[in-house]
Structure 1
Amino acid sequence: MKILLLCLLPFFAFGQKSILIRDIKPLPFTDVKVKDKFWAPRIETVCKTTIPFALRQCEETGRIRNFELASRDAGTDSGNENGAFCSAYPFDDSDVYKIIEGAAYALQHQYDASLDAQLDSLIGKIAAAQEPDGYLYSWRSIYEKYPDSRSDDKSKGKGLRMAGTERWQLTDQHSHELYNLGHLYEAAVAHHLATGKRNLLDVALKSADLVCNTFGPGKLEKVPGHEEIEIGLVKLYQLTGEQRYLDMASFFLEKRGYGEEYSQNHLPVREQREVKGHAVRACYLYSAMADVASLTKDTGYVEALNALWEDVIRGKVYFTGGIGSSQSNEGFTDAYDLPNFSAYAETCASIGFVLWNQRMFQLTGDAKYIDVLERTLYNALNSGLGFSGDRFFYDNPLASLRNHERSEWFACACCPSNIARFFPSLPGYIYAKWGNTVYVNLFAESETTVENVNSRLQIVPVTLRQKTNYPWDGEVNIIVEPEKPNTFELRVRIPGWARGDAFPGDLYSFSNKSAERVYFSLNGKDFTPEIRNGYAIINRKWKKNDLLSMRLPMDIYFAKSHSAVAANVGRKAIQRGPLVYCVEGKDQEFPAIHYTWTDFTKPVSTRFEPNFLNGVQTLSLAATLLQEPHGNRPTRKPLWLKAIPYYAWANRGADNMAVWLADNPASAKKKPAPNLIEKARITVPEGSRGKSSFLNDRWIPNNSADLESTYVRFPVQDTVEILIELPEVKKISEVHAWWFTGKDCKLPASWSVQFHSENGWVSPIHGPDNPTLADGWSECHFDEVETRRIRLLIVGQHRAPTGLHELRVVEEL
């Protein structure tokens, strides 16, 4: 079959009412050389560290072994003693595909013969695992091939529950059969374009032909439970020109509307106006709708996409650009439900949000989509990868009580593998082109060459070079070098934050305004360009070495939320340039940052620290620490808070962290008086959710169901035992408990306290039964005892879990 050399994401122009839908094409990352000190080292880290590390993890966790076991040539006769599935989830194949995609991009940054050969070997295993008719899903192949080994399946029954006993049986629920294939197709296209080889592409095309023969009108009329294959099918269509692949993607979109909100299957996509359910699924769906709409001139999709995007922007996105606030569905809830400590904001969702916003820009040419893309890219997405390249965040909260740290890997490793494919492709988001119009969307020291057309219909190569130290500095110089004088329109995005707009809509706004404006000069002469849709438009006959300069005001902005965002009432966030800032405990005189309030009326100092956190601009803010000694009025201690870019936090271990800072004493937590339990060792039952140290971190919740406070949820047991070991023997007469009633936990039916003496565990002498109260301390008072070891015995309500926010032990003085 002939392979057509098409751009990965072409968009055709079409009309919708009076709106022109543009055919804007991003310049491929292979045509853009990034040379800056911010993104270039990040990309190099991913290519040289993250991708090799992720491939090793796929080996060590059995993901690659799954393909070997599923191979047509594998079997007990070839030395396989155990044919059980080797990893945790039946969608683990997708991690391998995503890493191959990232590795293919890495080969285009810098060719590596060893990596190329490693990919060929891996692709050989994948090809061998494909069944004769094109079906490729290692879990099912292994399940059917090794029936005697099913009890050793490392998915522990998840494979059978998620995928069912038959092909495609649960594909519109949780099997991920089609999801896996979407990532296979994307990897195959990337690998073919990087190497010219067809070894993985042939596997993908054989699979796609099976999908086309299996699904469709009058055939199996189901849709993917996790969207992704639609994007991959569009890429196969654009590479090969085979119409059936685009038709199949369209079918999967059109057939939605018979299932659950969780997978955006509750309404036909044209009728959807509110974002619902799982955030990654949603972004992949909306990206696919944009892809198909651009190719089929379907205005119905565009109308839906506009409404869906507005719904997110109106109240379902974090100031960092992260989306999906809830862990329970890894996705969206109600508008303005944006907690900070329990924020989910999955790294994959940030990547998906960038993909969607890029496509919305390509359809419209409106800078607001790139404004949101930039916010997500520099903050929520960038925080997902540690500086070392081998530590990751799955979720990205906006506050922490030393309870969040980067992980080496995850059983569900979608985020590390997604990072591996995203960062090498990042240069492709900087520039775009529409006819003879060139867009500069992101700012980074870089170089690219575009081909324009002159009045004689001749091709004129034009080289653009950006010189900038963005995001630390607002000076952006663009050197234009046409091979010969050429008239064209250059559109340079003026970021919304530089115009004083914190965010599209009214979800976030700046409480202070810049005293400066954006300045432009051309060849050293100041001028005021036309501004349209967020872009400065310069249309002229460009000559070699023309210099366009833009100076953005790098003020320090203080942002506030819409009043309906309860978690941020009485708080402000800080932004400088595109970067959102946070404070982290390690940088402070007093690490207990949550007990401080910041005086935003006082000047903020800033400096660049080249040897700190890989080189960052830090801020210094006037603040006050509130301490509340037992029985006395709060005391106040003035201090300075050091703020760092949000993406840089937790690269030195778990710590306190906050993005939204209290701007008045009433909004700040009061640091409780010390009590005996502060230095105690606490042991909770195995299977508890939450660290035992949460029970003595002195973080007092607002109420028993407070998810913005730390808590421990105990497993359902007849009696839950909590052991408290003090550093030394003390005289005590009270133990206080603050119960947790969120996450389906109930107040206990009863609870009691025992202490350890020379006679073993005994109950102290006390008055009436211990109270069990919500939204406050439940106090157990008893006659004074001397002990070092205390235990709580908690009896739950019938079949209901129990939980605790905090414990307190009172010393008898």
Structure 2
Amino acid sequence: MQQEMSFLKLLNVPKIRDIKINSDFWNRYINLIKEVVVPYQWDILNDKVDGVEKSSAIRNFKIAAGLEQGDFYGMVFQDSDVYKWLEAASYVLESHYDEELDRKINEVIDLIEKAQWDDGYINTYFTIKEPQNRWTNLQECHELYCAGHLIEAAVAYYNATGNDRLLNIAKKFVDHINSIFGPEEGKLKGYPGHQEIELALIKLYEVTKEEGYLNLARYFIEERGKDPYYFDLEWEKRGRTEHWPGLIRNFGREYAQTHLPVRKQREAVGHAVRATYMYSAMADIARITKDEELLDTCKALFKDIVTRKMYITGGIGASAYAESFSFEYDLPNDRAYAETCASVGLIFFAHRMFLIEQSSHYYDIIEQTLYNNIIASMSLDGRSYFYVNPLEVVPRACEKRHDTQHVKVPRQRWFGCACCPPNVARLLSSIGKYVYAHSANELYVNLYISNEYELNMNGDEVKIYINSEYPFGDNVFIKIDTKKPVYFDLKLRIPKWCESFKVYINDREEGKIVKEKGYIVLSRIWNGNDEILLKLTTLPKKIRSHPRVRDNIGKITIMKGPILYCLEEADNGPNLHELFISKDSKLELKFEPEILNGLYVIYADGFRIDEEDFGDELYRDEYEYKLLPVKLKFIPYYAWANRGKGEMRVWISEIR
């Protein structure tokens, strides 16, 4: 009965324009996206930045539109970089309207419109290189993936401006896709090689309320994993040719989650980005259609990821081979893949699961991933990026060893396959959507980010103000402002790393606390200018892995709330593997204003092996090390690799 009730609850999330972020911490990133990242990525897409990987993404559209002559350049999915930039730029536009940015967006819309075929089709690769081969290689060539990112950009721009020009272009394309694919006689029984369009179609459905878009998303989900195997059929039909000879087809059916019908899948396998995009769409469909069987599938897949296959950073997809999930508890640190896009997908999946079940567990994962893998993937100046997010780095090993060459240190200014930088931009520019959720009589506070938000509760205007010290401090100040008394449930998330908490309303401590699925429930009539103080105790802690995680036996890492810490060579010298932390050490949190414009650093007592005891022998029957006491210095993982090339280590051995 409780599960059925969760489906009956309709939750809204903030529109970006309605929430004003006031957090010094998060505004640094939001302003970076607005002032640096979006302009920088625009220049890269237009090939105006010297010394980086060439993009040609905008030029491809100019060629496809007939405005220039030339050949297609880049990955077969190069169009998606433009679409993700459009989506991020639209979120920036929604929160901070800028006429020049709007002009650039419309410049791109002009190109897309000119490049669109009369039947609605858009894809610069096939338009320029292989117009006769449209829809013949779904497994490898990303046509539906690119279409999905176009749809998401169109919805974002429409929501930001009310201008439906790009939305109509996307709808025309979807009408074409719907004429090609489906269960009806004469249509292709295919589905995407790289999932993305499914979740995009749900967004289009929620804006337009046109059932056909929901039905097409469901078709792509339900058709997946059936026999006869569609990708084999199309391969035979096109004469066994491949876009990437000997690559994707060799990865096997698990790679694109086509090994089983989706409702029978219980283990997260294959390419981690493909997987989480698909799971996000499945959760959306389960929510909208009240499909309990599909929800059970999503819950099993989510549990498999976060209890057996997720790094402490929120990174997923441990294997560089096929950018995929490995097996349970296989989480190597120096060989980690943990692609940034996969963590973006995990946040999408967790958020959609929260909208169904309203459990704080999902937001613990969102917060952990946001504060670590996501923001660590971008440099503090916004001009370089990690595609791969390791938990241990020795730069010489990355240069010399084949099994760690996928780890690039320092961050790269751009990539030939540049999916991750615009993905981070679109997530961080829309972070306001993740702070709250509300129904007619409930307001969930999910992220303790300082902000102002105005909403409607039971037909009455309510303003909520948050001034937060979290996660480095423990106090969250909340003010509820109403024009007249309004009754609703205020639900405050208690993060899993919170050791204790207290709640004060108008300076009086609440004695009897009701807690539900990880949320404090404050049910009352709220009057104008009610004030709440939430005191969260989150001390620096030593964290240990499950014993099955082979790389971390006998090691600890440090977290303060959701913030993961690491050792860097810049603070602790080289050969970080020769450092140990004392089992009895206290952890001292201290703000250091001189480090990277200000960081909360953690100091601990530890030891370093005395190099003078080494000698020249590579092996001995006895090797007793002399240990020298040292003060260890840990910085937040999100800030590593901003002070030149050097070693980094998240997990450290612990001794007495």
- TM-score when normalising by structure 2: 0.89
Q: Which residue of 2 aligns with 1:537?
A: 521
1:422-433 counterparts in 2 under 5 A? 422-433=427-438
Of the candidates 149, 153, 167, which is equivalent to residue 187 of structure 1? Answer: 153
Q: Deviations over 1:647-688 (max 9, x none)?
A: 0000112211111111138xxxxxxxxxxxxxxxxxxxxxxx
Letter in 1 for 2:59: R
Judge conservation of contact 2:503–2:534 (CA < 8 Å) in 1. yes
Q: Would the aligned equivalents of 1:344 and 1:396 in 2 still touch at CA under 8 Å?
A: yes
2:394 partner letter: L
Deviations 1:336-365 (A, max 9, x none): 000000111111111111111011110001
Q: Deviation at 1:110?
A: 1.2
- AA matched with 1:279: A
> What are the residue-to-residue correspondences of 1:142-291 with 2, within 5 Å?
142-144=128-130, 166-171=133-138, 173-217=139-183, 218=185, 219-258=187-226, 260-291=253-284
| Amino acid paired to 1:190 | A
Deviation at 1:469, TM superposition (A): 2.0
Classify the secondary structure of the residue corresponding to 2:543: strand
In structure 1, what residue type is equivalent to 2:411? R
Aligned equivalent of 1:312: 305
2:632 is matched with which residue: 641, 651, 657?
641
1:464 to 2:475 alignment: no
Q: 2: distance between equivalents of 1:244 and 1:614?
A: 51
Q: Does the 8 Å CA contact 1:127/1:203 hold for their aligned counterparts? A: yes
For residues 407 and 255 of structure 1, the distance between their equivalents in structure 2, rounded to whole angstroms, comes to 38
Tell me, in whole angstroms, the C-alpha distance in 1 between the residues paired with 2:8 and 2:590: 43
Is 1:497–1:577's contact at 8 Å kept on the other side of the alignment?
A: yes
How many angstroms apart in 1 are the aligned matches of 2:486 and 2:593?
Answer: 41
CA distance in 2, matches of 1:247, 1:353: 24
In the alignment, is residue 141 of structure 1 matched against residue 92 of structure 2? no
Mapped partners of 1:25, 1:623: distance in 2: 49
Which residue type is aligned with residue 149 of structure 2?
Answer: H
Further displaced range: 375-384 or 232-241: 232-241
Does the CA contact (< 8 Å) of 2:482 and 2:526 recur in 1? yes
Q: Secondary structure at the match of 1:390?
A: coil
Contact 1:185 1:232 in 2 (8 A): yes
| Greater C-alpha Rg | 1
Alignment-derived partner of residue 101 in structure 1: 87
Q: Which amino acid in structure 2 is aligned with residue 35 of structure 1?
A: N
Please, which of 67, 71, 77 is the counterpart of residue 84 of structure 1?
71
Post-superposition CA distance 1:98-155 (Å, at most 9, x none):
000100111112111111111111111111111111111101111147xxxxxxxxxx
Identify the residue that residue 233 of structure 2 maps to in structure 1.
none
Find the counterpart in structure 2 of residue 492 from structure 1: 492
SS of match in other structure, 1:561: coil
Residue 575 of structure 2 aligns to which amino acid in structure 1?
A
Q: Is the 8 A contact 1:474 1:577 kept in 2?
A: no
Q: Which residue of 2 aligns with 1:512?
A: none
Letter paired with 2:554: G
Structure 2 CA distance for partners of 1:466 and 1:18, relative to 1, 3 Å: closer
* Pair 1:630-2:616 in alignment: yes
What is the Cα deviation at residue 610 of structure 1? 2.8
| Structure 1 segment 343-358 matched on structure 2, within 5 A | 343-358=336-351
Contact 2:497 2:538 in 1 (8 A): no
Distance 1:144 1:313 in 2: 41
Where do 4+ consecutive residues of structure 1 move more than 6 Å?
A: none
Name whichever of 292-301 and 35-44 sits farther off.
292-301
Equivalent in the alignment of 1:673: none
Q: Is the 8 A contact 1:29 1:429 kept in 2?
A: no
Q: Cα–Cα, structure 1 residues 428 and 19, in superposed 2: closer, same or farther, change >3 Å?
A: closer
Superposed displacement of residue 30, structure 1: 2.1
Residue identity opposite 2:179 in structure 1? N
Partner of 1:10: none
- Do 2:585 and 2:606's aligned partners in 1 also have CA atoms closer than 8 Å? no
Structure 1 residues 592-648: Cα deviation after superposition (integer angstroms, max 9, x where no partner): 222111113122222112342232210111111114333574222211111000000
Residue type of the partner of 1:305? C
Q: Which residue number corresponds to residue 452 of structure 2?
A: 447
Residue 19 of structure 1: CA displacement? 6.1
User: Alignment partner of 2:559: what SS?
Assistant: strand
Partner residue in 1 for 2:57: 63
User: SS at the partner of 1:488?
Assistant: strand
2:18 equivalent among 27, 31, 53:
31
Post-superposition shift, 1:20? 5.3
Instruction: Give the residue type in structure 2 aligned to 1:170.
Output: N
Percentage identity across aligned positions? Answer: 39
Give the TM-score normalised by structure 1: 0.72
Q: Secondary structure at the match of 2:24?
A: coil
- In 1: Cα distance, 2:624 partner to 2:265 partner: 54
Asked if the contact 2:451/2:465 (under 8 Å) is kept, the reply is: yes
SS at match of 1:307: helix
Q: Secondary structure at the match of 1:370?
A: helix
3-state SS of 1:24 partner: coil
Q: Give the aligned CA root-mean-square deviation in angstroms.
A: 1.6
Q: Is the 8 A contact 2:541 2:587 kept in 1?
A: no
What SS does the corresponding residue of 2:412 show, helix, strand or coil?
coil
Describe how 1:508-523 pairs up with structure 2 within 5 A: 517-523=500-506
Q: 1: CA distance between counterparts of 2:639 and 2:320? A: 23
Alpha-carbon distance in 1 for matches of 2:534, 2:300: 33
Q: Secondary structure at the match of 1:541?
A: strand
Letter matched to residue 73 of structure 2:
C
Segments of 5+ residues of structure 1 without an aligned counterpart are: 1-13, 146-164, 454-458, 500-516, 666-813
Q: Does 1:380 align with 2:367?
A: no
Counterpart in the other structure of 1:716: none
CA distance in 2, matches of 1:533, 1:108: 33
Match of 1:325 among 303, 309, 318: 318
Among 37, 42, 46, which residue is 2:33 paired with?
Answer: 46
Q: Distance in 1 between matches of 2:592 and 2:19?
A: 29
Among residues 114, 125, 129, which one is paired with 1:128 in the alignment? Answer: 114
SS at match of 2:46: helix
Paired AA for residue 649 in structure 2: A
The Cα of 1:17 is off from its aligned counterpart by 6.2
Q: Is the 8 A contact 2:585 2:605 kept in 1?
A: yes
Superimposed CA distance per residue, residues 532-565 of structure 1 (whole angstroms, 9 cap, x where no aligned partner): 1000110011111111111111311111111110
3-state SS of 1:26 partner: coil
Contact 1:21 1:364 in 2 (8 A): no
Q: Amino acid of the residue matched to residue 64 of structure 2?
A: A
Residues 450 and 466 of structure 2 are in contact (CA less than 8 Å); yes or no, is this contact kept in structure 1? yes
Is the Cα–Cα contact under 8 Å of residues 7 and 290 in structure 2 kept in the other structure?
A: no
Instruction: Tell me which residue corresponds to 1:118.
Output: 104
C-alpha distance in structure 2 between counterparts of 1:394 and 1:658, whole Å:
18
Asked which structure has the greater RCO (Cα within 8 Å, sep 6+), the reply is 2
CA distance in 2: counterparts of 1:22 and 1:343, whole angstroms: 39
User: C-alpha deviations, 1:340-395, integer Å up to 9, x for none?
Assistant: 00111111111111111011110001100001111001011111111111111101
The C-alpha deviation readout for 1:55-109, integer Å capped at 9, x for no partner, is 11111121111111111x34xxxx62xx21122x110100100000100111112
Q: Do the aligned residues in 2 keep the contact of 1:24 with 1:365 (CA within 8 Å)?
A: no
Q: Hey, what's the Cα distance between the residues in 2 that align with 1:105 and 1:342?
A: 34
Letter in 2 for 1:397: P
AA of the residue aligned to 2:644: G
Q: Which has the higher helix share?
A: 2
| Matched-pair contact (CA < 8 Å) for 2:271–2:323 | yes
